[in-house]
Structure 1
Amino acid sequence: MDLARNAPGIGVSYEAARRRQAEGLGADRSWRVGADGEVAVGEVLAELTKVSRWDRLRGRPPSWWVLHSVPLGDGRGRVRGDVDHVLIGPPGVITINSKHHRAGRLTLDGEQLVVNGHLTEYVRKARREAERAAQFLRPALAGAGTPELAARVAVRPMLAIVGGRLLISRWAPGVTVVMTRQLLHAVRSIPAVLDAAEVATVYEVARRSTTWNPGASS
Protein backbone atom coordinates (compact mmCIF):
# COMPACT_ATOMS: atom_id res chain seq x y z
CA MET A 1 0.00 0.00 0.00
CA ASP A 2 1.21 3.51 -0.82
CA LEU A 3 1.28 5.40 2.48
CA ALA A 4 1.50 8.71 0.62
CA ARG A 5 -2.29 8.45 0.29
CA ASN A 6 -2.83 8.59 4.05
CA ALA A 7 -4.34 11.78 5.44
CA PRO A 8 -3.22 13.14 8.82
CA GLY A 9 -5.09 11.48 11.68
CA ILE A 10 -6.76 8.84 9.52
CA GLY A 11 -5.79 5.93 11.75
CA VAL A 12 -7.04 7.62 14.92
CA SER A 13 -10.22 8.73 13.14
CA TYR A 14 -11.01 5.12 12.22
CA GLU A 15 -10.48 4.08 15.83
CA ALA A 16 -12.72 6.91 17.04
CA ALA A 17 -15.50 5.73 14.75
CA ARG A 18 -15.07 2.14 15.92
CA ARG A 19 -15.21 3.16 19.58
CA ARG A 20 -18.31 5.24 19.09
CA GLN A 21 -20.10 2.43 17.30
CA ALA A 22 -19.08 -0.18 19.85
CA GLU A 23 -19.36 1.82 23.08
CA GLY A 24 -21.72 4.69 22.32
CA LEU A 25 -21.67 8.46 22.25
CA GLY A 26 -18.67 9.99 24.02
CA ALA A 27 -16.46 6.92 23.85
CA ASP A 28 -14.66 8.44 20.89
CA ARG A 29 -13.90 11.81 22.46
CA SER A 30 -10.21 11.34 23.30
CA TRP A 31 -9.62 9.74 19.90
CA ARG A 32 -11.27 12.64 18.09
CA VAL A 33 -9.16 15.11 20.07
CA GLY A 34 -6.08 13.13 19.07
CA ALA A 35 -7.12 13.12 15.43
CA ASP A 36 -7.63 16.89 15.52
CA GLY A 37 -4.11 17.26 16.88
CA GLU A 38 -2.64 15.15 14.09
CA VAL A 39 -4.50 17.21 11.50
CA ALA A 40 -3.14 20.43 13.03
CA VAL A 41 0.44 19.14 12.93
CA GLY A 42 -0.09 17.83 9.40
CA GLU A 43 -1.13 21.31 8.28
CA VAL A 44 2.08 22.78 9.70
CA LEU A 45 4.24 20.11 8.05
CA ALA A 46 2.55 20.78 4.71
CA GLU A 47 4.41 24.09 4.63
CA LEU A 48 7.69 22.18 4.36
CA THR A 49 6.61 20.12 1.38
CA LYS A 50 5.52 23.01 -0.82
CA VAL A 51 7.45 23.44 -4.08
CA SER A 52 7.85 26.92 -5.50
CA ARG A 53 6.73 27.61 -9.05
CA TRP A 54 10.36 28.27 -10.03
CA ASP A 55 11.56 24.93 -8.63
CA ARG A 56 8.66 23.16 -10.32
CA LEU A 57 9.57 24.67 -13.69
CA ARG A 58 13.18 23.56 -13.21
CA GLY A 59 12.11 20.06 -12.24
CA ARG A 60 13.47 20.25 -8.71
CA PRO A 61 11.91 17.81 -6.24
CA PRO A 62 10.69 18.95 -2.82
CA SER A 63 13.34 19.23 -0.10
CA TRP A 64 10.95 17.58 2.37
CA TRP A 65 8.40 14.80 2.19
CA VAL A 66 5.91 13.70 4.83
CA LEU A 67 3.86 10.57 5.48
CA HIS A 68 0.99 10.35 7.95
CA SER A 69 -0.51 7.55 10.07
CA VAL A 70 2.28 5.09 9.25
CA PRO A 71 1.40 1.62 10.64
CA LEU A 72 4.24 -0.11 12.48
CA GLY A 73 4.23 -3.90 12.45
CA ASP A 74 5.51 -6.57 14.78
CA GLY A 75 7.72 -8.16 12.11
CA ARG A 76 5.15 -10.88 11.41
CA GLY A 77 2.64 -8.88 9.42
CA ARG A 78 0.51 -7.62 12.30
CA VAL A 79 0.12 -3.91 13.02
CA ARG A 80 1.21 -2.74 16.47
CA GLY A 81 0.47 0.99 16.52
CA ASP A 82 1.41 3.75 14.12
CA VAL A 83 3.60 6.80 13.75
CA ASP A 84 1.57 10.00 13.51
CA HIS A 85 3.96 11.63 11.01
CA VAL A 86 7.18 10.53 9.32
CA LEU A 87 9.07 13.56 8.01
CA ILE A 88 11.86 12.96 5.49
CA GLY A 89 14.28 15.69 4.51
CA PRO A 90 17.89 16.88 4.49
CA PRO A 91 18.47 15.92 8.19
CA GLY A 92 17.21 12.38 7.55
CA VAL A 93 14.02 11.00 9.07
CA ILE A 94 12.00 12.48 11.93
CA THR A 95 9.20 10.53 13.60
CA ILE A 96 6.71 13.00 15.04
CA ASN A 97 4.21 12.14 17.74
CA SER A 98 1.38 14.68 18.04
CA LYS A 99 -0.10 15.42 21.45
CA HIS A 100 -3.23 17.56 21.67
CA HIS A 101 -3.94 19.05 25.09
CA ARG A 102 -5.93 22.16 24.27
CA ALA A 103 -5.64 24.28 27.44
CA GLY A 104 -3.36 21.86 29.32
CA ARG A 105 -0.31 22.83 31.35
CA LEU A 106 2.76 20.78 30.41
CA THR A 107 6.11 20.73 32.18
CA LEU A 108 9.18 19.07 30.68
CA ASP A 109 11.96 18.07 33.06
CA GLY A 110 14.37 15.85 31.17
CA GLU A 111 12.76 12.44 30.72
CA GLN A 112 9.61 13.54 32.54
CA LEU A 113 6.77 15.32 30.77
CA VAL A 114 3.97 16.18 33.19
CA VAL A 115 0.52 17.15 31.86
CA ASN A 116 -1.86 18.83 34.29
CA GLY A 117 -0.05 17.21 37.20
CA HIS A 118 0.05 13.73 35.68
CA LEU A 119 3.35 12.12 34.70
CA THR A 120 3.28 10.75 31.14
CA GLU A 121 5.34 8.26 29.16
CA TYR A 122 5.44 10.55 26.12
CA VAL A 123 9.21 11.03 25.97
CA ARG A 124 10.08 7.37 26.42
CA LYS A 125 7.46 6.26 23.90
CA ALA A 126 8.60 8.83 21.32
CA ARG A 127 12.16 7.56 21.62
CA ARG A 128 11.06 3.94 21.33
CA GLU A 129 8.92 4.78 18.30
CA ALA A 130 11.93 6.23 16.47
CA GLU A 131 14.02 3.19 17.38
CA ARG A 132 11.36 0.84 15.99
CA ALA A 133 11.05 2.92 12.84
CA ALA A 134 14.81 2.74 12.29
CA GLN A 135 14.75 -1.04 12.76
CA PHE A 136 12.32 -1.31 9.85
CA LEU A 137 13.60 1.46 7.58
CA ARG A 138 17.30 0.60 7.49
CA PRO A 139 16.89 -3.02 6.30
CA ALA A 140 14.37 -1.83 3.70
CA LEU A 141 16.84 0.74 2.37
CA ALA A 142 19.60 -1.86 2.28
CA GLY A 143 17.29 -4.26 0.47
CA ALA A 144 16.51 -1.55 -2.08
CA GLY A 145 20.17 -1.43 -3.06
CA THR A 146 21.33 1.49 -0.92
CA PRO A 147 23.21 -0.11 2.00
CA GLU A 148 25.50 2.91 2.47
CA LEU A 149 22.49 5.20 2.79
CA ALA A 150 20.82 2.74 5.15
CA ALA A 151 23.86 2.76 7.41
CA ARG A 152 23.96 6.52 7.89
CA VAL A 153 20.34 7.68 7.74
CA ALA A 154 19.31 9.12 11.09
CA VAL A 155 15.85 8.59 12.60
CA ARG A 156 15.08 11.24 15.23
CA PRO A 157 12.10 11.38 17.61
CA MET A 158 10.04 14.51 18.11
CA LEU A 159 6.98 15.42 20.18
CA ALA A 160 4.73 18.14 18.73
CA ILE A 161 2.41 19.68 21.30
CA VAL A 162 -0.88 21.14 20.06
CA GLY A 163 -2.52 23.63 22.42
CA GLY A 164 -1.77 24.17 26.06
CA ARG A 165 1.32 25.76 27.56
CA LEU A 166 4.74 24.11 27.70
CA LEU A 167 7.24 24.97 30.43
CA ILE A 168 10.75 23.55 30.08
CA SER A 169 13.00 22.91 33.07
CA ARG A 170 15.38 20.56 31.25
CA TRP A 171 15.39 19.32 27.67
CA ALA A 172 14.67 15.65 27.07
CA PRO A 173 17.87 13.84 25.98
CA GLY A 174 17.58 12.72 22.38
CA VAL A 175 13.93 13.78 21.96
CA THR A 176 12.86 17.18 20.62
CA VAL A 177 9.74 18.54 22.35
CA VAL A 178 8.13 21.61 20.75
CA MET A 179 4.87 23.46 20.43
CA THR A 180 3.45 23.50 16.90
CA ARG A 181 4.42 27.15 16.42
CA GLN A 182 8.07 26.13 16.88
CA LEU A 183 7.89 22.99 14.77
CA LEU A 184 9.12 24.34 11.44
CA HIS A 185 12.02 26.19 13.04
CA ALA A 186 12.98 23.07 14.99
CA VAL A 187 13.18 20.76 11.99
CA ARG A 188 14.89 23.34 9.78
CA SER A 189 17.55 23.84 12.45
CA ILE A 190 18.75 20.23 12.27
CA PRO A 191 21.95 19.98 10.16
CA ALA A 192 21.55 18.49 6.69
CA VAL A 193 23.18 15.13 5.99
CA LEU A 194 21.31 14.00 2.85
CA ASP A 195 21.21 15.51 -0.62
CA ALA A 196 18.02 15.83 -2.65
CA ALA A 197 18.51 12.51 -4.45
CA GLU A 198 19.07 10.67 -1.18
CA VAL A 199 16.00 12.27 0.38
CA ALA A 200 13.92 11.13 -2.61
CA THR A 201 15.33 7.59 -2.31
CA VAL A 202 14.44 7.37 1.37
CA TYR A 203 10.94 8.65 0.64
CA GLU A 204 10.31 6.10 -2.11
CA VAL A 205 11.19 3.29 0.30
CA ALA A 206 9.35 4.85 3.25
CA ARG A 207 6.07 5.26 1.40
CA ARG A 208 5.71 1.46 1.04
CA SER A 209 3.61 -0.01 3.84
CA THR A 210 5.68 -3.21 3.76
CA THR A 211 8.74 -1.21 4.81
CA TRP A 212 7.17 -0.65 8.22
CA ASN A 213 5.25 -3.90 8.45
CA PRO A 214 7.37 -6.72 6.97
CA GLY A 215 5.36 -9.83 6.33
CA ALA A 216 2.16 -7.96 5.48
CA SER A 217 0.73 -8.10 1.97
CA SER A 218 1.19 -4.93 -0.07
Structure 2
Amino acid sequence: MTIKVQEHQKEALALLRKHLGNDLSVGPAPATASAPPSASRAPQSMTPEGRQPAERPAVLPPLSASEDLARNRPGAKLLGLIAERGPSTAQRLRAKLLRQSSEWDSWYTGLGGEQKVGRELERLSSLGWRTLHGIEKSNGGDIDHLLIGPGGVFNINTKTHKGATVWVGDAMTKVNGGQPHPYGAASKAESDYVRRVLRRYCAFDVPVAPVLVFVGVASLHRAATQNGIRVYQEREVSALGPLTGKLTSEQVEAVYAAARHRGAWLRT
Protein backbone atom coordinates (compact mmCIF):
# COMPACT_ATOMS: atom_id res chain seq x y z
CA MET A 1 0.00 0.00 0.00
CA THR A 2 1.31 3.43 -0.92
CA ILE A 3 0.18 6.55 0.99
CA LYS A 4 0.63 9.28 -1.59
CA VAL A 5 -0.45 12.23 0.56
CA GLN A 6 2.11 12.21 3.36
CA GLU A 7 0.19 14.43 5.77
CA HIS A 8 -2.43 11.67 6.02
CA GLN A 9 0.12 8.94 6.74
CA LYS A 10 -0.14 9.01 10.55
CA GLU A 11 -3.94 8.86 10.53
CA ALA A 12 -4.03 6.10 7.91
CA LEU A 13 -1.50 3.94 9.75
CA ALA A 14 -3.35 4.32 13.04
CA LEU A 15 -6.53 3.07 11.35
CA LEU A 16 -4.75 0.15 9.70
CA ARG A 17 -3.00 -0.90 12.91
CA LYS A 18 -6.34 -0.94 14.70
CA HIS A 19 -7.52 -3.75 12.40
CA LEU A 20 -4.32 -5.42 11.19
CA GLY A 21 -2.18 -5.35 14.34
CA ASN A 22 0.62 -3.21 15.71
CA ASP A 23 3.31 -5.08 13.81
CA LEU A 24 2.36 -3.23 10.61
CA SER A 25 5.44 -1.49 9.21
CA VAL A 26 6.02 1.10 6.52
CA GLY A 27 8.55 0.61 3.76
CA PRO A 28 9.82 2.92 1.03
CA ALA A 29 7.54 3.90 -1.82
CA PRO A 30 7.80 1.60 -4.84
CA ALA A 31 9.98 2.69 -7.72
CA THR A 32 8.19 4.17 -10.71
CA ALA A 33 10.03 1.85 -13.08
CA SER A 34 11.55 -1.56 -12.72
CA ALA A 35 14.11 -3.58 -14.57
CA PRO A 36 12.88 -5.94 -17.29
CA PRO A 37 11.93 -9.38 -15.97
CA SER A 38 14.81 -10.97 -17.83
CA ALA A 39 17.28 -8.76 -15.98
CA SER A 40 15.87 -9.37 -12.50
CA ARG A 41 15.18 -13.11 -12.45
CA ALA A 42 15.53 -16.20 -14.50
CA PRO A 43 12.51 -17.32 -16.52
CA GLN A 44 10.29 -19.92 -14.90
CA SER A 45 8.57 -22.83 -16.59
CA MET A 46 4.84 -22.50 -17.16
CA THR A 47 1.95 -24.94 -17.01
CA PRO A 48 0.06 -25.82 -20.22
CA GLU A 49 -2.58 -23.29 -19.19
CA GLY A 50 0.03 -20.52 -19.17
CA ARG A 51 0.33 -20.21 -15.37
CA GLN A 52 3.36 -20.62 -13.20
CA PRO A 53 3.31 -24.02 -11.46
CA ALA A 54 2.01 -23.86 -7.89
CA GLU A 55 4.51 -24.33 -5.10
CA ARG A 56 4.32 -27.56 -3.17
CA PRO A 57 1.93 -26.96 -0.22
CA ALA A 58 3.25 -27.04 3.32
CA VAL A 59 2.43 -30.15 5.34
CA LEU A 60 0.46 -29.85 8.57
CA PRO A 61 0.99 -32.24 11.51
CA PRO A 62 -1.72 -34.75 12.46
CA LEU A 63 -4.78 -32.96 13.80
CA SER A 64 -5.21 -33.27 17.56
CA ALA A 65 -8.39 -32.55 19.51
CA SER A 66 -6.88 -29.44 21.11
CA GLU A 67 -5.92 -28.06 17.69
CA ASP A 68 -9.23 -28.85 15.94
CA LEU A 69 -11.17 -25.65 15.25
CA ALA A 70 -14.21 -27.70 14.25
CA ARG A 71 -14.84 -28.01 18.00
CA ASN A 72 -15.32 -24.24 18.34
CA ARG A 73 -18.81 -22.94 18.94
CA PRO A 74 -20.04 -19.67 17.38
CA GLY A 75 -18.65 -16.80 19.43
CA ALA A 76 -15.78 -18.94 20.73
CA LYS A 77 -13.46 -15.95 21.20
CA LEU A 78 -16.03 -14.01 23.23
CA LEU A 79 -17.01 -17.09 25.22
CA GLY A 80 -13.38 -17.51 26.23
CA LEU A 81 -13.01 -13.86 27.24
CA ILE A 82 -16.24 -13.90 29.24
CA ALA A 83 -15.24 -17.10 31.03
CA GLU A 84 -11.83 -15.64 31.84
CA ARG A 85 -12.64 -12.05 32.74
CA GLY A 86 -16.42 -11.66 32.69
CA PRO A 87 -18.84 -11.11 35.57
CA SER A 88 -20.01 -13.92 37.81
CA THR A 89 -23.55 -15.28 37.59
CA ALA A 90 -24.47 -13.32 40.74
CA GLN A 91 -23.13 -10.09 39.26
CA ARG A 92 -25.07 -10.60 36.05
CA LEU A 93 -28.28 -11.38 37.96
CA ARG A 94 -27.88 -8.29 40.15
CA ALA A 95 -27.30 -6.04 37.13
CA LYS A 96 -30.34 -7.53 35.39
CA LEU A 97 -32.61 -7.08 38.41
CA LEU A 98 -31.46 -3.50 38.90
CA ARG A 99 -31.51 -2.85 35.15
CA GLN A 100 -27.96 -1.62 35.30
CA SER A 101 -25.72 -1.44 32.27
CA SER A 102 -22.22 -2.84 32.50
CA GLU A 103 -18.98 -2.91 30.55
CA TRP A 104 -19.82 -6.48 29.50
CA ASP A 105 -23.07 -5.64 27.73
CA SER A 106 -21.40 -5.16 24.35
CA TRP A 107 -19.64 -8.54 24.71
CA TYR A 108 -22.90 -10.38 25.38
CA THR A 109 -24.59 -8.51 22.54
CA GLY A 110 -21.81 -9.48 20.15
CA LEU A 111 -21.92 -13.09 21.37
CA GLY A 112 -25.65 -13.30 20.70
CA GLY A 113 -25.13 -11.97 17.19
CA GLU A 114 -22.42 -14.50 16.37
CA GLN A 115 -24.55 -17.33 17.70
CA LYS A 116 -27.49 -16.30 15.51
CA VAL A 117 -25.34 -16.15 12.39
CA GLY A 118 -23.69 -19.44 13.33
CA ARG A 119 -27.08 -21.16 13.44
CA GLU A 120 -27.96 -19.80 9.99
CA LEU A 121 -24.66 -21.01 8.54
CA GLU A 122 -25.05 -24.52 9.94
CA ARG A 123 -28.25 -24.84 7.88
CA LEU A 124 -26.08 -24.83 4.75
CA SER A 125 -24.31 -28.10 5.61
CA SER A 126 -26.86 -30.09 3.59
CA LEU A 127 -25.70 -28.19 0.49
CA GLY A 128 -22.09 -29.24 0.90
CA TRP A 129 -20.80 -26.33 3.01
CA ARG A 130 -18.44 -26.57 5.99
CA THR A 131 -18.30 -23.94 8.74
CA LEU A 132 -15.67 -22.93 11.30
CA HIS A 133 -16.09 -20.34 14.05
CA GLY A 134 -13.86 -18.13 16.19
CA ILE A 135 -10.58 -18.64 14.32
CA GLU A 136 -7.81 -16.86 16.20
CA LYS A 137 -5.46 -14.92 13.93
CA SER A 138 -1.74 -14.33 14.38
CA ASN A 139 -2.33 -10.65 15.23
CA GLY A 140 -4.59 -11.49 18.19
CA GLY A 141 -7.92 -10.88 16.43
CA ASP A 142 -10.29 -13.56 15.23
CA ILE A 143 -12.39 -14.53 12.22
CA ASP A 144 -16.02 -14.77 13.36
CA HIS A 145 -16.98 -17.46 10.82
CA LEU A 146 -15.36 -19.20 7.86
CA LEU A 147 -17.70 -20.80 5.31
CA ILE A 148 -16.16 -23.31 2.89
CA GLY A 149 -18.15 -24.89 0.07
CA PRO A 150 -18.81 -25.28 -3.66
CA GLY A 151 -19.16 -21.51 -4.05
CA GLY A 152 -15.70 -20.83 -2.57
CA VAL A 153 -14.55 -19.60 0.82
CA PHE A 154 -16.17 -16.70 2.68
CA ASN A 155 -14.79 -14.96 5.76
CA ILE A 156 -17.84 -13.66 7.60
CA ASN A 157 -17.71 -10.69 9.94
CA THR A 158 -20.73 -10.31 12.24
CA LYS A 159 -21.84 -6.89 13.51
CA THR A 160 -24.72 -6.56 15.96
CA HIS A 161 -26.51 -3.19 16.14
CA LYS A 162 -29.95 -3.71 17.63
CA GLY A 163 -32.64 -1.47 16.17
CA ALA A 164 -30.12 0.64 14.25
CA THR A 165 -30.20 2.13 10.78
CA VAL A 166 -27.06 1.01 8.96
CA TRP A 167 -25.55 2.39 5.76
CA VAL A 168 -22.80 0.37 4.07
CA GLY A 169 -20.42 1.83 1.49
CA ASP A 170 -17.34 0.49 -0.27
CA ALA A 171 -15.00 0.72 2.73
CA MET A 172 -16.93 2.47 5.48
CA THR A 173 -20.16 1.87 7.39
CA LYS A 174 -22.32 4.33 9.32
CA VAL A 175 -24.60 3.32 12.16
CA ASN A 176 -27.48 5.73 12.89
CA GLY A 177 -25.63 8.37 10.90
CA GLY A 178 -22.68 8.42 13.27
CA GLN A 179 -18.96 8.26 12.67
CA PRO A 180 -17.87 5.91 9.88
CA HIS A 181 -16.53 2.46 10.80
CA PRO A 182 -14.03 0.74 8.45
CA TYR A 183 -15.95 -2.55 8.42
CA GLY A 184 -15.53 -3.06 4.69
CA ALA A 185 -11.81 -2.31 4.63
CA ALA A 186 -11.20 -4.62 7.59
CA SER A 187 -13.20 -7.45 5.99
CA LYS A 188 -11.27 -7.08 2.75
CA ALA A 189 -7.95 -7.23 4.62
CA GLU A 190 -9.17 -10.31 6.47
CA SER A 191 -9.94 -12.01 3.14
CA ASP A 192 -6.37 -11.41 2.02
CA TYR A 193 -5.13 -12.97 5.25
CA VAL A 194 -7.37 -16.04 4.80
CA ARG A 195 -6.21 -16.43 1.20
CA ARG A 196 -2.54 -16.35 2.20
CA VAL A 197 -3.01 -18.95 4.93
CA LEU A 198 -5.00 -21.38 2.79
CA ARG A 199 -2.69 -21.00 -0.21
CA ARG A 200 0.18 -22.18 2.00
CA TYR A 201 -1.50 -25.54 2.66
CA CYS A 202 -3.53 -26.21 -0.52
CA ALA A 203 -2.23 -27.34 -3.90
CA PHE A 204 -4.70 -25.12 -5.78
CA ASP A 205 -5.91 -21.53 -5.77
CA VAL A 206 -8.52 -20.92 -3.08
CA PRO A 207 -11.10 -18.20 -3.91
CA VAL A 208 -11.88 -16.13 -0.81
CA ALA A 209 -14.43 -13.31 -0.51
CA PRO A 210 -15.56 -11.18 2.45
CA VAL A 211 -19.07 -11.06 3.89
CA LEU A 212 -20.53 -8.56 6.34
CA VAL A 213 -23.59 -9.71 8.30
CA PHE A 214 -25.59 -7.21 10.38
CA VAL A 215 -27.70 -8.63 13.19
CA GLY A 216 -30.79 -7.04 14.71
CA VAL A 217 -30.76 -3.86 12.63
CA ALA A 218 -33.97 -1.98 11.83
CA SER A 219 -32.86 -1.18 8.29
CA LEU A 220 -29.84 -1.86 6.10
CA HIS A 221 -28.91 0.39 3.17
CA ARG A 222 -26.35 -1.03 0.75
CA ALA A 223 -24.55 1.48 -1.43
CA ALA A 224 -23.23 0.27 -4.80
CA THR A 225 -19.99 -1.44 -3.82
CA GLN A 226 -17.00 -2.06 -6.07
CA ASN A 227 -14.90 -4.23 -3.77
CA GLY A 228 -16.80 -7.53 -3.91
CA ILE A 229 -18.04 -7.52 -0.31
CA ARG A 230 -21.38 -9.24 0.21
CA VAL A 231 -23.64 -7.51 2.76
CA TYR A 232 -26.52 -9.33 4.46
CA GLN A 233 -28.81 -9.32 7.45
CA GLU A 234 -28.61 -12.50 9.52
CA ARG A 235 -31.48 -14.32 7.80
CA GLU A 236 -30.10 -13.50 4.34
CA VAL A 237 -26.88 -15.54 4.60
CA SER A 238 -28.82 -18.48 3.16
CA ALA A 239 -28.25 -16.75 -0.20
CA LEU A 240 -24.73 -18.22 -0.11
CA GLY A 241 -26.09 -21.78 -0.11
CA PRO A 242 -26.87 -22.20 -3.83
CA LEU A 243 -23.51 -20.80 -4.98
CA THR A 244 -21.40 -23.30 -6.93
CA GLY A 245 -18.62 -23.56 -9.50
CA LYS A 246 -15.63 -22.48 -7.41
CA LEU A 247 -14.51 -25.65 -5.60
CA THR A 248 -15.11 -29.34 -6.22
CA SER A 249 -16.30 -31.51 -3.35
CA GLU A 250 -12.76 -32.90 -3.00
CA GLN A 251 -11.31 -29.38 -2.85
CA VAL A 252 -13.90 -28.35 -0.26
CA GLU A 253 -12.77 -31.18 2.00
CA ALA A 254 -9.08 -30.37 1.39
CA VAL A 255 -9.59 -26.70 2.34
CA TYR A 256 -11.67 -27.65 5.36
CA ALA A 257 -9.04 -30.14 6.52
CA ALA A 258 -6.33 -27.46 6.40
CA ALA A 259 -8.48 -24.70 7.89
CA ARG A 260 -9.35 -26.82 10.94
CA HIS A 261 -5.76 -26.65 12.22
CA ARG A 262 -5.46 -23.92 14.85
CA GLY A 263 -1.72 -23.67 14.30
CA ALA A 264 -2.13 -22.92 10.59
CA TRP A 265 -3.66 -19.54 11.44
CA LEU A 266 -1.11 -18.59 14.12
CA ARG A 267 1.95 -19.02 11.93
CA THR A 268 3.39 -15.61 11.01
Q: Same fold (TM over 0.5)?
A: yes
Q: Name whichever structure is richer in strand by fraction.
A: 1
Please name the residue that 1:163 is paired with: 216
1:100 aligns with 2:160: yes
CA distance in 2, matches of 1:128, 1:162: 22
Unaligned runs of 5+ in 1: 51-61, 75-79, 142-146
Instruction: Assess if the C-alpha contact under 8 Å between 2:129 and 2:150 holds in 1.
Output: yes
CA distance in 1, matches of 2:260, 2:129: 13
TM-score by length of 1: 0.80
1:128-143 paired onto structure 2 within 5 Å: 128-141=189-202
Please name the residue that 1:154 is paired with: 207
CA distance in 2, matches of 1:203, 1:38: 20
CA distance in 1, matches of 2:135, 2:86: 23
1:18-40 per-residue CA deviation (whole Å, 9 max, x = no partner) reads: 44359x86121111111100000
Instruction: Assess if the C-alpha contact under 8 Å between 1:64 and 1:89 holds in 2.
Output: yes
Q: Alpha carbon RMSD of aligned pairs, Å? A: 2.0
CA distance in 2, matches of 1:189, 1:196: 14
1:123 aligns with 2:199: no
Pick from 178, 200, 205: which aligns with 2:232? 178
Please name the residue that 2:141 is paired with: 81
Q: Which amino acid is the alignment partner of residue 7 of structure 1?
A: R
In the TM superposition, what is the alpha-carbon distance from 1:192 to its structure 2 partner? 1.9
Q: Which amino acid is the alignment partner of residue 67 of structure 1?
A: L
Q: Which amino acid is the alignment partner of residue 157 of structure 1?
A: P
Larger radius of gyration: 2
Instruction: Assess if the C-alpha contact under 8 Å between 1:72 and 1:133 holds in 2.
Output: no
Instruction: Assess if the C-alpha contact under 8 Å between 1:126 and 1:157 holds in 2.
Output: yes
Please name the residue that 1:53 is paired with: none
In the TM superposition, what is the alpha-carbon distance from 1:17 to its structure 2 partner? 4.1
The sequence identity of aligned pairs, in percent, is 31
| Farther off after superposition, 31-40 or 105-114 | 105-114
In the TM superposition, what is the alpha-carbon distance from 1:71 to its structure 2 partner? 0.8
Q: For 2:238, what is the secondary structure of its paired residue?
A: helix
CA distance in 2, matches of 1:30, 1:202: 33
Q: For 1:102, what is the secondary structure of its paired residue?
A: coil
Please name the residue that 2:129 is paired with: 64
Please name the residue that 1:56 is paired with: none
Q: For 2:246, what is the secondary structure of its paired residue?
A: coil
Q: For 1:4, what is the secondary structure of its paired residue?
A: helix
Pick from 114, 132, 148: which aligns with 1:38? 114
CA distance in 2, matches of 1:82, 1:113: 20
Q: For 2:166, what is the secondary structure of its paired residue?
A: strand
Please name the residue that 1:77 is paired with: none
Q: For 1:95, what is the secondary structure of its paired residue?
A: strand
How many correspondences in the alignment? 189
CA distance in 2, matches of 1:177, 1:157: 9
Q: Which amino acid is the alignment partner of residue 48 of structure 1?
A: L
In the TM superposition, what is the alpha-carbon distance from 1:110 to its structure 2 partner? 2.6
1:24-61 per-residue CA deviation (whole Å, 9 max, x = no partner) reads: 861211111111000000000010013xxxxxxxxxxx
Instruction: Assess if the C-alpha contact under 8 Å between 1:12 and 1:35 holds in 2.
Output: yes
